[in-house]
Structure 1
Amino acid sequence: MNKNFFEDENKKKTAVILCGGPGSRMGRLVTNKPKTLLEVHGKPILWYIFWSLYKHGFHKIILPIGFEGEQIENYIKELSKNTDCEILAVETGVDTSIAKRIDLISDLIKDDSDFFLLNSDTIFDFDIEKMYQIHTSTNSLVTLSSVQVASPWGIMSVVDNELVGFARAHRVSKLITGEAEEGYGLVNSGLAWINKSSLELIELDDCPDFETTLYQKVIDKKRASYFQIEGLWIPFDTPKDLNTINHLAIDDELSSSVLTKDTLRKFELQKSET
Structure 2
Amino acid sequence: MEVVIFCGGKGTRLWPHTENGNKHMIEIGGRPILWHLMKIYSSNGFKDFVLCLGKYGGDIWEYFSKKENIEENWKIKFVNTGDETPKAGRLAKVKKFVKGENFFVTYGDGVSDVNIKDLFNFHKKHGKIATLTAVRVPNQYGILDIDDKDEYYTINSFREKPRLDYWLNGGFFVFNKKIFDYLDKDKDLEREVLKKIAEEGELSAYKHNGFWKSMDTFKDVIQLNELWEDSAPWAIWEKSN
TM bucket, shorter chain = 0.7 to 0.9
User: Is 1:225 aligned to 2:201, yes or no?
Assistant: no
**Which of 184, 205, 209 is matched with 2:185 structurally?**
205
The match for 2:130 is 142
User: Is 1:80 aligned to 2:79, yes or no?
Assistant: no
Asked whether the 8 Å contact 2:86–2:185 carries over to 1, the reply is no
Superposition deviation, residue 124 in structure 1: 1.7
Query: Which 4+ stretches in 1 moved above 6 angstroms?
Result: none
- 2 CA distance for matches of 1:144 and 1:195? 12
Asked whether the 8 Å contact 2:51–2:79 carries over to 1, the reply is yes
Please state whether the residue corresponding to 1:33 is helix, strand or coil: coil
- 2 CA distance for matches of 1:149 and 1:100? 29
Please state whether the residue corresponding to 1:226 is helix, strand or coil: strand
- 1 CA distance for matches of 2:220 and 2:238? 17
**Which of 89, 92, 95 is matched with 2:84 structurally?**
95
Superposition deviation, residue 145 in structure 1: 1.2
- 2 CA distance for matches of 1:240 and 1:137? 38
Superposition deviation, residue 259 in structure 1: 8.7
The match for 1:109 is 98
- 2 CA distance for matches of 1:249 and 1:257? 8
Asked whether the 8 Å contact 1:146–1:227 carries over to 2, the reply is yes
The match for 2:39 is 51
User: Is 1:170 aligned to 2:162, yes or no?
Assistant: yes
User: Is 1:17 aligned to 2:5, yes or no?
Assistant: yes
Superposition deviation, residue 66 in structure 1: 1.1
- The change in CA–CA distance for 1:158 and 1:28 in structure 2 (over 3 A counts) is same
The aligned amino acid for 2:34 is L
Which sections of structure 2, spanning at least 5 residues, go unmatched? none
Asked whether the 8 Å contact 1:232–1:260 carries over to 2, the reply is no
Deviations 1:214-247 (A, max 9, x none): 2222222222211111332111101111123334
The match for 1:3 is none
Superposition deviation, residue 149 in structure 1: 0.6
- 2 CA distance for matches of 1:16 and 1:158? 46
- 2 CA distance for matches of 1:42 and 1:203? 36
User: Is 1:191 aligned to 2:168, yes or no?
Assistant: no
The match for 1:271 is none
Superposition deviation, residue 95 in structure 1: 1.4
The aligned amino acid for 2:223 is T
The aligned amino acid for 1:134 is F
Tell me the TM-score normalized by structure 1: 0.76
Superposition deviation, residue 61 in structure 1: 0.5
- The change in CA–CA distance for 1:248 and 1:50 in structure 2 (over 3 A counts) is closer
| Alignment RMSD (CA, Å) | 2.6
Q: Percent identity?
A: 27
Superposition deviation, residue 249 in structure 1: 7.9
- 2 CA distance for matches of 1:91 and 1:121? 18
Please state whether the residue corresponding to 2:170 is helix, strand or coil: strand
Deviations 1:132-187 (A, max 9, x none): 1111111111011111111112223589x996422222112x33xxxxxxxxxx21
Superposition deviation, residue 260 in structure 1: 8.9
- The change in CA–CA distance for 1:249 and 1:232 in structure 2 (over 3 A counts) is closer
